[in-house]
Structure 1
């Protein structure tokens, strides 16, 4: 949208007074004295329905706690809201658009509509009725309700304070295509959790503003396009008019309306470009980085044949970022770092994206700078050199802006991108840290521009006119070897596809783990007081140390997927792709690499770091730091053995994931090569015995192995026969330990562990103690 058009739309905003606005989507009269917001709707039809609108709710002011997800700019609810008159009452009900019969007869469509429930959101009193049948009612009570479950989301006994919750007539804005309302919602509790005590001015009460929009439904619904492959975000419906023998589930591809001036031309200018506005609240140089990164999408649309189809600008002053007419990249502040999001507001009938509403967490860039300073030294900050932490963090911000806007263009994650050389911004990229001549460098930490997958995905989503044409594009992409793996097959320790992980890098995840472990060793050798800026509290070194100590955490997840792994592509009947298990050789290499990451050498904190990590905090309690650091032995003393245990837990949680162990057993039963479950257990216990003999750090690793094995047997996701096999192996190990001839600390440890493993009650009690197997400090999101 051009600036001249914005100015025209701003001029069309209707100043509201007690008299109803005339040139408005719906006549509305906001009375500042009485606090009422009266809507006037036309005479109802034969079924009592007076009006239907797209209803959109968004969070206008957030809570500031990443843990709650109650963020400024977040969409809450989208649907078709209809107003029905029943006697002296008006009913606001949300239509059920999930079950339809678009190709059916009128009778079939009515049957489907009558077979599924709608949702009554509110019932109000009608104030007056005109001679033509139109009627007026006060909409303010609807706006002041907690329609969205905030009280439940906040938790800990929070409840809506109805007396402190109300709509504001002064904030009503009326336009020809949409009307905007704002309401204050207030919540209280006697038992606020730490993450909310940290942000509430009085430690408990929470207040926020919610934006409600009534929007004109598109008069010409966009043609429906499906996405059976899952490459895009989709609106799902069940089609009761589908031919017999065909699936009723329809996944409508979500996309913006984009029409060529000449539909028959392969390349053509568009009637109305897609325009995104970057929130002016984003500070420089972040704002310019976002403009640059979001602007990368112009190339993808250009290659898909849409000329001058995508633009990005700074949001002009005076424009409301929640106004339904604008796609906005919002800059969101929280007390602690958290995720960024790319949600869209969509017409549920067709999948048409009506507004992109990106939310970028402002602390992400600061977390990146902290990591890069810890790796390279804070002295390089703002130096302009290739390894400057700020320069590299801005490179990530460009990619993050492109990534989240990609979601609001309709694209889902593609976590296979890193396995083919940065070919999509829709992956989570690892910062590429390299060793050059023995020295660390982050000069090539992130890629630039959209990749080959992104260009294909835009063409698939926007240029294909039919499902058949889209499928032909997919088959061409498959023939080129382009990979795609979605969230469901990526997130979590138990997923199976080694081509898909978050924050991993390069083609071979096992070889990359070995490379990253070498980088980690160099980073630990380099780590010193210069990891934080001069003049900063020395205790903050503990926070800077965590991402260095756990630099390998995401590559461990990726490498573990090769063990019992399988590459299962997305395909439709007739596509020429196949499912392939990971080779026995790579599975063996994965097990060896994971055991190397579990070694005493890898999990021993260098002794020289203990003094500089043991400074007492020089500041008052800081919640945002406390949740990021590893627990200490007590007081200011840094606990290197706790760090050892945390490193071991992370490797074991991935190696011993129940789904992974189930697959290992399943593969062996089906004659597929790779380490057997017996081999995994044998090598793990031999590793534990050897580690324990090396000293205290090794005994911490060995104890963690024993406890994690025992914990795994109690997981309901694990096959019971495998659980029994592990328990039998633990019993044999306990018997061996009980007879061990070693003296001193090692012998005492061996006999103590044997006693614990043999006492089911004591072992259950130990596993119930959350402190025994420590939690790994938060990592996600990085970058």
Structure 2
């Protein structure tokens, strides 16, 4: 029962006031402070009340006067009575937990105010879908408790603008920028001897939505849900010398109608783990300056008092505090190693692969001077601690309905210094099922889409799924973290849904190309190598390292399948890249599927971050760190991260490419995809198998094919980008245009594998097997797209996406700029690109002048797509450079002449489809050429 707040109204009847005080004395109610201090006279009146018979009031109680229970603590009565029946938990704070009423009080001593504390929030139990997944980090925040009159405030200090406290400008800083006072709690009581204050911590955790989770639920669940206090409670409270661990269960009621994992959509529970801990003592850790040539997450602030530097920001890398036991030894164990615990939920048969994925980083730390910097321990089955406890770094096994990610590697950081304090890695349990070809219920289940084509196409070209808005948001968990209030503004989460699709494709390739069985030795090796690589990648994040999408370019395609090289030198220069399974092309022996070692970039990055400096002061480390960072000109140490990949400027900084010759490797993989289609045509399903398996496999192969074509496309108009500084030892400039021969090779590959008349040829027997699943129940709904397979639309979707990318305004602008950035004759010009596409796509028209050439339905669709793009450019409906618009006009004029000649020479010998198509095409382009230009 909620308790009456003292002094909240001058209209409280005295009888009610008397009953309330009796309840307090009995330890049954919750006292709150919201008034001025009480006088000695009032205290005497209250003392007399305890001796009166129930129902009688003293005559001299002043009606309507405010009473302050905090002051009642002078004689210790109220403080002790409030916590009567509660368990006292002593540690970082003294807590009072009443297991009957569920109340939780926090005792604060005067010296605990204005001290920096870290609050870490984790979703310790979710619902297994819609992004609400067990182990999901909800955010962390530095805060302070501050006393303001008769209240205690929860304050988030502004640490992003700093100067020295002794600087006179500090006064200006305080007046110019605000802190964030998030909550204000009444003081319940004051202890008469310790002078400590009692506040209702349960009120803060249970009723204030401190994590921001409740307010975001409608966005994620597609329905209306609200917290239900009758179903919410504090489940576990633990106090330790340096931290406090609390778990809360929040009940929600409502009606979303979309949650397939719930037994009843009207209610569900979420469990949030709160960890409050002290930050490390000042001076116990030396921050290290960040360098953009080495990929670390950073902690940054603006030095407001610094008016001497053109860049006022101070940036620290995020790293653990490692110190050598023997500072003079070249190789020494650390004083305190980084310890990872494998959670007891991880299946025993995969623990060794995960262990190896963690320990593989010790090789990198040896280059930094540390021996056995990382240790691995197994969480006992009877462990009494929780994985969310900030004292433990864990590798967790996440079980969800769908596969939203392969792994997530978040960590908690001191936002003042960048020191990493805790890490908990989530590995998706679904990856094992995906590797065993159980992908039907785990991928491609993103909900209904705007159109039938979009729904099917999303299961093929996942890279374009973001363009399609579904009726129900099946969200990446990282999106939830981005929306919550305490997301760390200096980190980007690692969450990759496409990783799981690529894993399934590799597994299926082994089945189709090698005859591997789901429970066979080859698939087992495939799973273990993947888990080792995945774990190493996520551990790298928890060591402070960002993605390095340049990391896949270490070895040639042939070297990737030579295990004598990959198991000594490594497969890639950095495990912080996203790579798909290495699949040997036809006729080449198969090597390792995934990297099993950290690469040269990883070792170098760890050296920068962790090698002890001979300089004791941070400002004296500059030369030491520069000597390490300037080696970035070594091709093996090339670095390109998320924002570099998003720009799509450098084709070597790409997700899911492989080898130092990605063009040739992508061509090998498209040949592998064609072989897989042939195997699908020749192999029959086993008796009793569902034909929907064939549709899923067909789509997965097409997805793989499409991704390889997208990699090839990146070379057209591409530029190599590096983070070199002036005076780079290799004499590099930041941008280097991709050689024109590579760009032409890219176009030739696309002509052969995407735009050629025989690029997509499938037998009728195969196409007639592509049936969808007919199950309709929770977790598996009948798709809304066509029952039969829309082969024309799907092929056009793939071809059209590549064509649109080649003729996008951004790429055309880059090509035009490259004509000025390269020597004469060394650039792929806009006219050459337009002419190459014209020759490839309208091949039949050009040939028809010599011999009648019928145009197939697939080719007619592609030609209409090309025609529509050119017309849109001419009419000003696409944002492209003016040179591109005039070239489109020129191409339409050329096409008009080509079609006219073809019809003049061969019209009587052409089939009706082709004749109608060419006549209508000519009619449309002539009208477009005569139409008015439409300005954007």
TM-score, length-scaled by structure 1: 0.85
For residue 550 of structure 1, give the secondary structure of its aligned residue in structure 2: helix
Structure 1 residues 436, 703: CA separation in 2 closer, same or farther (over 3 Å shift)? same
Aligned to 1:659: 810
1:128 maps to which of 178, 182, 189: 189
> Which is further off, 104-113 or 422-431?
104-113
| Alpha-carbon distance between aligned partners in 2 of 1:701 and 1:133, rounded to the nearest angstrom | 80
Quote the Cα distance in structure 2 between the aligned partners of 1:110 and 1:199: 55
Alignment of 1:27-176 (within 5 A): 27-43=94-110, 49=113, 51-65=115-129, 68-101=130-163, 103=164, 105-109=166-170, 111-131=172-192, 132-144=194-206, 145-150=208-213, 151-152=215-216, 154-155=218-219, 158=223, 161-164=226-229, 168-176=233-241
Q: CA deviation at 1:528?
A: 5.1
Q: Distance in 2 between matches of 1:157 and 1:758?
A: 48
Alignment correspondent of 2:535: 401
Distance verdict in 2 for CA 1:584–1:668, change over 3 Å: same
Shift, 1:585, TM fit: 1.2
Alignment of 1:370-409 (within 5 A): 370=437, 371-377=505-511, 380-381=516-517, 384-385=520-521, 388-409=522-543
Distance of 1:669 and 1:153 partners within structure 2: 51
Query: Would you say the 8 A contact 2:323–2:612 is kept in 1?
Result: no
Distance 1:120 1:78 in 2: 16
Structure 2 runs not aligned, ≥5 long: 1-82, 438-504, 556-571, 614-620, 846-853, 932-936
Change in 2 beyond 3 A, CA 1:719/1:28: same
Q: Which residue of 2 aligns with 1:583?
A: 739
Distance 1:356 1:457 in 2: 19
Per the alignment, residue 781 of structure 1 pairs with none
What is the aligned counterpart of 2:916 among 748, 764, 771? Answer: 748
- The residue aligned with 1:5 is none
User: What do the CA deviations read for 1:259-280 (whole angstroms, capped 9, x no partner)?
Assistant: 1112232211211110111222
The residue number in structure 1 matching 2:769 is 612
User: Structure 1 residues 39 and 197, CA, compared in 2 at 3 Å: closer, same or farther?
Assistant: same
Separation in 1, partners of 2:108, 2:635: 56
- The equivalent residue for 2:304 is 240
Which of 70, 85, 93 in structure 2 is aligned with 1:26?
Answer: 93
CA deviation digits over 1:132-186, x for unaligned, max 9? 4321111122213333443436516655623348763341111111111222345
Distance (Å, rounded) in 2 between the aligned partners of 1:284 and 1:711: 59
Which residue number corresponds to residue 723 of structure 2?
A: 570
Question: Which whole-Å CA distance do the structure 2 matches of 1:621 and 1:687 have between them?
Answer: 47
* Aligned match of 1:218: 280
1:503 maps to: 656
The C-alpha deviation readout for 1:308-342, integer Å capped at 9, x for no partner, is 21112222232311000111112112222222211
1:255 deviates by 0.5
Distance 1:325 1:167, change over 3 A: farther
Quickly say closer, same or farther: Cα 1:746–1:653, change in 2 above 3 A.
Answer: same
Specify the SS of the correspondent of 1:173.
Answer: strand
Q: CA deviation at 1:348?
A: 0.1
- Alignment partners' CA distance in 2, 1:676 and 1:204: 61
Larger Rg: 2
Q: 1:364 to 1:752 in 2, by over 3 A?
A: farther
Q: CA deviation at 1:717?
A: 9.5
149-158 or 242-251, larger mean C-alpha shift: 149-158
Instruction: Name the CA distance, whole Å, in 1 between partners of 2:372 and 2:782.
Output: 48
Secondary structure at the counterpart of residue 90 of structure 2: coil
Structure 1 unmatched runs, 5+ = 1-15, 764-783
Q: Which deviates further from its counterpart, 712-721 or 453-462?
A: 712-721
Contact 1:63 1:71 in 2 (8 A): yes
- Is 1:140–1:166's contact at 8 Å kept on the other side of the alignment? no
2:242 to 172, 177, 199: 177
**Could you tell me how far apart the structure 2 residues matched to 1:708 and 1:453 are?**
43
Structure 2 counterparts to residues 202-601 of structure 1, below 5 A: 202-203=264-265, 205=267, 207-220=269-282, 221-229=284-292, 230-242=294-306, 244-317=308-381, 318=383, 319-339=385-405, 340-370=407-437, 371-377=505-511, 380-381=516-517, 384-385=520-521, 388-421=522-555, 422-437=572-587, 443-465=591-613, 466-479=621-634, 481-491=636-646, 495-527=648-680, 536-576=689-729, 577-578=732-733, 579-598=735-754, 599-601=756-758
Q: Normalization by structure 2: what TM-score?
A: 0.72
Q: Distance in 2 between matches of 1:176 and 1:709?
A: 70
Equivalent position of 1:769 in the other structure? none
SS in 1 for 2:286: coil
- Give the aligned partner of residue 446 of structure 2: none
Structure 2 partner of 1:12: none
CA pair 530-206 structure 1, distance change in 2 beyond 3 A: farther
Which SS does the other structure have where 2:580 is aligned?
coil
After superposition, the Cα gap between the structure-2 partners of 1:499 and 1:121, relative to the gap in structure 1 and judged at 3 Å, is: same
- Over 3 Å counting, the alpha-carbon distance change for 1:536 and 1:252 in structure 2 is farther
Secondary structure in 2 matching 1:659: helix
Deviations 1:103-128 (A, max 9, x none): 56354445435432222222222111
How far, CA to CA, are the matches of 1:602 and 1:595 in structure 2? Answer: 9
Counterpart-to-counterpart distance in 1, 2:328 and 2:711 = 45
Q: CA RMSD in A?
A: 3.2
Q: Structure 1 pair 214/755, CA: closer, same or farther in 2 (3 Å)?
A: farther
Structure 1 counterpart SS, 2:120: strand
Deviations 1:15-72 (A, max 9, x none): x994453531111111122221100111279xxx45431111111112322xx44322
The alpha carbon displacement at 1:535 in A equals 5.2
Q: Match for residue 771 of structure 1?
A: none
Cα pair distance change 1:477/1:95, threshold 3 Å: same
C-alpha separation in 1, matches of 2:683 and 2:353? 27
Does structure 2 conserve the Cα–Cα contact (< 8 Å) formed by 1:183 and 1:209? yes
For the residues of structure 2 that align with 1:25 and 1:171, how far apart are their CA atoms? 16
Cα 1:543–1:624 shift into 2, 3 Å? farther
Q: Offset of 1:503 from its aligned partner?
A: 1.0
Task: Give 3-state SS (helix, strand or coil) of 1:504's partner.
Answer: coil
The answer to whether the 8 A contact 2:233-2:250 is kept is no
Contact kept in structure 2, 1:152 and 1:158, CA below 8 Å: no
Deviation at 1:704, TM superposition (A): 3.5
Give the distance between the partners of 2:424 and 2:369, measured in 1 at CA. 25
Deviation at residue 572 of structure 1 after TM alignment: 3.3
**Alignment CA distance shift 1:258-1:536 (3 Å):** farther
In 1, are the aligned partners of 2:399 and 2:430 still within 8 Å (CA)? yes
Alpha-carbon separation, structure 2, partners of 1:528 and 1:603: 14
Separation in structure 1 between the aligned mates of residue 339 and residue 289 of structure 2, nearest angstrom:
24
* Residues 288 and 316, structure 2, Cα contact 8 Å, conserved in 1: yes
